């Protein structure tokens, strides 16, 4: 194995990413070295490419980016147990500490010391990734590498969708990006009655209708109340999954929910947004913030659902070689894609 590799690097504090030659990362006694096969481009990667305020305040330069991946274990530290050379894996991109109350209680996803691969430490847009063995997730035969490469965002969708009981419920999803679309598929898979997804991007709404058994609504052209009436919903939606990060969408969701409705909120409105808290109080709305995935309960559930018939493959709209990354980022930044998967072979 060469001691150098190709890697996509945030090499300069300005818009863009650059393909460079970098040393293959060394591993410690509790780590594995993963030969990367496929990676997914995430919305977070777009923020890093654009070098917006969040990225400037978060990402050290230079840094190998990327955190959605699937690959094969090619080297293991001396203390690693339970994994094998040649094993296909994806992995949890949140690196946790072990000293906080949350971590010691097993609530790893709430650990305040969390660091992200490809955001705070070297990531997966490379031919090789060093990862703590604790974070490696073996892939069953039913989950191939390209699906393995998008388990991170699918995990966000699963964590958000399973925040509340959806069986027999009417669900409103705001934001038809890839995670919103996958959340719609999850909601239907676990037994929701009506699933409605809203956006203003017709391409993404069309993709949502193709991938998930849901009702797409372009709120720039249609009244959400008309859709609810057509579905014979008497009071409103039971559960809202907010994926857009748009304040107007959240306001619309609050209005569309029943008394005592529940909202799981993954989207992040930019800056500080005005909220009419009286509507939340007087409608007795439960509002839950969602961050990442439950480590590792979400992983077990989403792998089980994939093995049990959950089909999200059509959310992948673009497949290309890693060398074509600029095209993939341009398509995503233009809003023309679902998930973009890069092939590092």
Residue 44 annotated as catalytic: yes
pLDDT in tens, 230-278: 999 989 999 999 999 999 999 999 999 999 999 999 998 877 888 889 9
For the segment 14-43, the average pLDDT, to the nearest whole number, is 97
pLDDT in tens, 139-190: 999 999 999 999 999 999 999 999 999 999 999 999 999 999 999 999 999 9
Region class of 74: left (phi > 0), else alpha (psi between -120 and 50), else beta: alpha
Q: Residue 317 — φ and ψ, nearest 5°?
A: -105, -20
Q: Which two tokens stand for residue 214?
A: 């849901």
pLDDT at 274: 87
pLDDT at 261: 98
pLDDT at 273: 82
Q: Which two tokens stand for residue 209?
A: 């209708």
Domain residue extents for the chain: 4-150+312-343, 157-289
Strands 339-343 and 316-321: parallel
Compute the distance between CA of residue 212 and CA of residue 21 in angstroms, rounded to an integer. Answer: 40
pLDDT for residue 340 is more than 90: yes
pTM value is 0.95
Compute the distance between CA of residue 118 and CA of residue 49 in angstroms, rounded to an integer. Answer: 12
Of 47, 58, 318, 336, catalytic: 47
Q: Residue 153 — φ and ψ, nearest 5°?
A: -70, -35
pLDDT at 23: 97
pLDDT for residue 1 is more than 70: no
pLDDT for residue 307 is more than 90: yes
Residues 6+ apart with CB under 8 A from 219: 198, 199, 200, 249, 252
The answer to whether residues 342 and 325 touch, using CB atoms and an 8 Å cutoff, is yes
Instruction: Establish how many alpha carbons lie within 13 A of residue 128's alpha carbon, considering only the half-sphere containing its beta carbon.
Output: 20
For the segment 31-47, the average pLDDT, to the nearest whole number, is 97
Compute the distance between CA of residue 321 and CA of residue 333 in angstroms, rounded to an integer. Answer: 18
pLDDT in tens, 66-117: 999 999 999 999 999 999 999 999 999 999 999 999 999 999 999 999 999 9
Residue 227 annotated as catalytic: no
C-alpha distances in Å from residue 168, one per residue of 89, 114, 174, 233, 285: 34, 36, 19, 13, 19
Of 39, 44, 317, 337, catalytic: 44
Domain spanning 157-289 has what CATH number?
3.40.50.720
For the segment 266-294, the average pLDDT, to the nearest whole number, is 92
pLDDT in tens, 193-233: 999 999 999 999 999 999 999 999 999 999 999 999 999 99
* Residue 226 buriedness (CB in 10 A; 0-12 / 13-18 / 19+): exposed
| Bridge partner list, 129 | 34
Largest CA distance in the chain: 64
Domain spanning 4-150+312-343 has what CATH number?
3.90.180.10
């Amino acid at each position: 194995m060469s001691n150098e590799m190709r890697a996509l690097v945030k090499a300069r504090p300005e818009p863009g990413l650059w393909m460079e030659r970098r040393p293959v990362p060394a591993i410690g006694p509790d780590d594995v070295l993963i030969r990367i096969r496929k990676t997914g481009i995430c919305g977070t990667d777009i923020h890093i490419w654009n070098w917006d305020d969040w990225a400037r305040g978060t990402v050290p330069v230079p840094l190998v980016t990327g955190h959605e991946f699937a690959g094969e274990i090619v080297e293991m530290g001396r203390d690693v147990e339970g994994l094998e050379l040649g094993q296909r894996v994806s992995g949890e991109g949140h690196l946790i500490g072990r000293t906080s109350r949350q971590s010691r209680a097993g609530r790893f996803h709430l650990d305040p010391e969390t660091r992200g691969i490809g955001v705070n430490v070297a990531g997966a847009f490379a031919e090789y990734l060093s990862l703590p063995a604790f974070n490696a997730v073996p892939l069953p035969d039913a989950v191939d590498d390209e699906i393995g490469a998008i388990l991170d965002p699918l995990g966000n969708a699963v964590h958000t969708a399973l925040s509340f009981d959806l069986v027999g419920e009417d669900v409103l999803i705001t934001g038809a990006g890839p995670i919103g679309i996958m959340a719609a598929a999850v909601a239907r898979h676990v037994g929701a009655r009506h699933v409605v997804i809203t956006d203003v991007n017709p391409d993404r709404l069309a993709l949502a209708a193709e991938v998930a058994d849901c009702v797409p609504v372009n709120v720039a052209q249609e009244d959400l109340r008309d859709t609810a009436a057509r579905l014979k919903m008497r009071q409103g939606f039971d559960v809202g999954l907010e994926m857009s990060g748009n304040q107007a969408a959240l306001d619309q969701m609050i209005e569309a929910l029943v008394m005592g409705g529940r909202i799981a909120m993954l989207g992040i409105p930019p800056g500080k947004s005005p909220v009419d808290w009286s509507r939340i109080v007087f409608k007795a709305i439960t509002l839950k913030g969602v961050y990442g995935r439950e480590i590792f309960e979400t992983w077990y559930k989403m792998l089980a659902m994939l093995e049990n018939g959950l089909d999200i493959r059509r959310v992948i709209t673009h497949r290309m070689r890693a060398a074509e990354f600029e095209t993939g980022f341009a398509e995503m930044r233009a809003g023309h894609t679902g998930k973009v998967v890069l092939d590092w072979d």
